[in-house]
Amino acid sequence: MVRAGGTLLGPMKNLTRRRFGKTLAGAAAAVAAGASLPRIALAQLAKAGLLRFPDNFVWGCSTAAYQVEGAVNEDGRKPSVWDTFSHTPGKTFQGETGDVADDSYHLYKEDVKLLKNLGVGGYRFSISWSRVFPDGTGQPNEKGLAYYQRVVDELLKNNIAPYITLFHWDLPQALPGGWQSRDTSKAFADYAAYIAKHLSDRVGHFFTINEFTCFTDLGYKTGRFAPGLKLPDGEVNQIRHNAVLAHGLAVEAIRANGKSGTQVGLAENATVYVPVIEDQKQIEAARRATREENAPFLTALMEGKYTDGYLQREGANAPKVEAGDMKIIGNPLDFVGLNVYTPEYVRADSSAAGYIVEKRQTSYPRMASDWLYIGPEVIYWAVRNVSDIWRPKALYITENGCSADDVVTANGRIEDTDRVMYLRNHLTHLHRAASESYPIKGYFLWSLMDNYEWADGYSKRFGLHYVDFKTQTRTPKLSAEWYREVVSRNAVE
């Protein structure tokens, strides 16, 4: 309330959203009646709605090499499995490939300017393994390394910290057997060692691998992604094992070859289980589901073992584990990165597992991608479940964002209000996790700009910047304006 003389009555810090609405309505009525409203009142009302994040919280954006770089045949780079897959008829939307993508190989300085204009403090990007080691192993390609050195230097010049992902699905085609071979795990460790040795003087955070299931199960079981195989369960489980072994070997290689203090973790799209009702019984069911349903990947890394349930379910198809493997796989991490998009809902039941995963109704809302179901609370439970089960030192949201049917208006604007809705709601729930003292250190939005969306080609747009793929023009969307405000305030409204 406002009294004569323009001072405020009542503690503004106790202003709830409902009371805020009533106060604002009263203020509007007062203005309509001809009364003047002191500026301090409006300022304090505006601040009351802000949800602030911790000091030193890192705001950033993410991309991946094959999705943005292009220049697939330049400066010594050789094909990855995604080059081969995307050039195979019928594998991608309209046969589209990443040959040019966003041409970030040539336009990286322009892309750093986009980051600078957003005000972000971090940029998570991946290195093309076959650009640095064209054959996957053996002789490194100095021109490939030099490109990433230029990118890192340009970021640092603009006060943006580089966060490097070593593997985002683009396996060198030349590696015999791909992830079916244990030798690929060893080759990955050698590649990780080389990168850490040459870049850790300027890069403080390395992510070993991005999203295990997307290159193991989707690549070797369903065939939806590169290399497009459909193998039996036993072979797929061994591929999964080779992948998590590669992660563990890379952790050791980075620590052995990187500058002292280098931080290492991973970026994983662990399936997130949300309790249907927030009571202790359902919360425990969500924890059980999180641990068991992520058994081949995140659980194995965090515990250094496969769960009894996973081994029992797979039986004769369980992976063959050599002596010392699980200790390597379970190497302690400095942080865990979580790629968070969509929830699964669980409830407690009387089965041996103690939970059941609910089926979605056909009316459940989603974004432009058919898999991207909307459930903003997923980001809170991603952080909480992982923290409550495994107590990591630090957590980052390494991807979060959405596809939208973006349209350029007659005046050249992209009014992606649906993306703003998605992001605002997710960040509101992420703030809850931060306010409850979970160790969330940063948020990397997917993605900086529209790019090559794997098997969906260029048909799905996830970026804050609209890309005209014919001219390579980048145009900020409404969501870019909104995110810039979030970053500048270190708060979401």
Model confidence over 256-268: pLDDT tens digits?
999 999 999 999 9
**DSSP letter assigned to residue 36:** -
| pLDDT at position 19 | 43
Tell whether the model's pLDDT for residue 315 goes beyond 90: yes
pLDDT at 49: 81
CATH class of the structural domain 56-492: alpha beta
How confident is residue 48, by pLDDT bands cut at 50, 70 and 90? low
Active site residue 399: yes
The CA distance from 183 to 122, in Å, is 33
- Pick from 358, 359, 213, 348: nearest CA to 287: 348
- Give the number of residues written for the chain: 493
Least confident of 25-29, 221-225, 395-399, 418-422: 25-29
Residue burial 56-81, b: 16+ Cβ < 10 Å; e: rest: ebbbbbbbbbbbbbbbbeeeebbbbb
Mean pLDDT of the 327-353 span: 98
> Tokens 């909307």 map to which residue?
374
Specify the pLDDT at position 11: 39
DSSP E strand stretches across 374-479: 395-399, 440-446, 465-468, 473-476
Q: Which of 209, 207, 204, 208 is nearest to 262 (CA)?
A: 204
**Average confidence score pLDDT of the chain:** 93
The token pair that represents 254 in the structure block: 């980075």
pLDDT value of residue 38: 38
pLDDT at residue 91 tops 90: yes
pLDDT at 90 over 60: yes
* Tens of pLDDT, residues 131-172: 999 999 999 999 999 999 999 999 999 999 999 999 999 999
How far is the C-alpha of 149 from the C-alpha of 142, rounded, in Å?
10
**Which residues, 6 or more positions from 466, have their beta carbon under 8 angstroms from its beta carbon?**
406, 408, 414, 449, 450, 474, 475, 476, 477
DSSP string, 207-251: EEEE-HHHHTHHHHTS-SSTT-----HHHHHHHHHHHHHHHHHHH
- Interval 386-417: pLDDT, tens: 999 999 999 999 999 999 999 999 999 999 99
Burial of residue 223 (CB within 10 Å: 0-12, 13-18, 19+) is middle
**Candidates 69, 96, 154, 211; catalytic one:** 211
> Pairing relation of β-strands 473-476 and 465-468?
antiparallel
Average pLDDT over residues 84-91: 98
| Tally of CB atoms within 10 A around 485 | 12
Which pLDDT belongs to residue 362? 97
**When comparing pLDDT for 72 and 27, which is higher?**
72
| 450-454 average pLDDT score | 98
Mean pLDDT value of segment 19-30: 43
In this structure, what token pair is assigned to residue 292? 């068991």
Q: Does residue 44 surpass a pLDDT of 70? A: no
Q: Is 322 a catalytic residue?
A: no
| DSSP letters spanning 318-344 | SPP--TTHHHHHT---S-EEEE---EE
Q: Where exactly are the structural domains of the chain?
A: 1-49, 56-492
The answer to whether residue 9 scores a pLDDT higher than 60 is no
Distance CA 90, CA 118 (A): 38
Query: What is the rounded average pLDDT of the residues 314-336?
Result: 98
Taking 80 as the threshold, does the pLDDT of residue 2 lie above it?
no
SS3 content of the chain, % helix, strand, coil (to 5): 45, 15, 40
CA distances from 231 to 67, 113, 237, 318 (A): 26, 44, 10, 14
**Averaged pLDDT for residues 92-105:** 98
Q: Could you tell me whether strands 355-357 and 263-268 are parallel, antiparallel, or unpaired per DSSP bridges?
A: unpaired
Per-residue pLDDT band at 28 (split at 50, 70, 90): very low
Lowest average pLDDT, out of 6-10, 131-135, 200-204, 474-478, goes to 6-10
Peptide bond into 447 cis (omega under 30): yes
Compute the average pLDDT of residues 200-213. 98
Q: For residues 378 and 42, which has the higher predicted lDDT (pLDDT)?
A: 378
pLDDT band at 366 (very low <50, low <70, confident <90, very high): very high
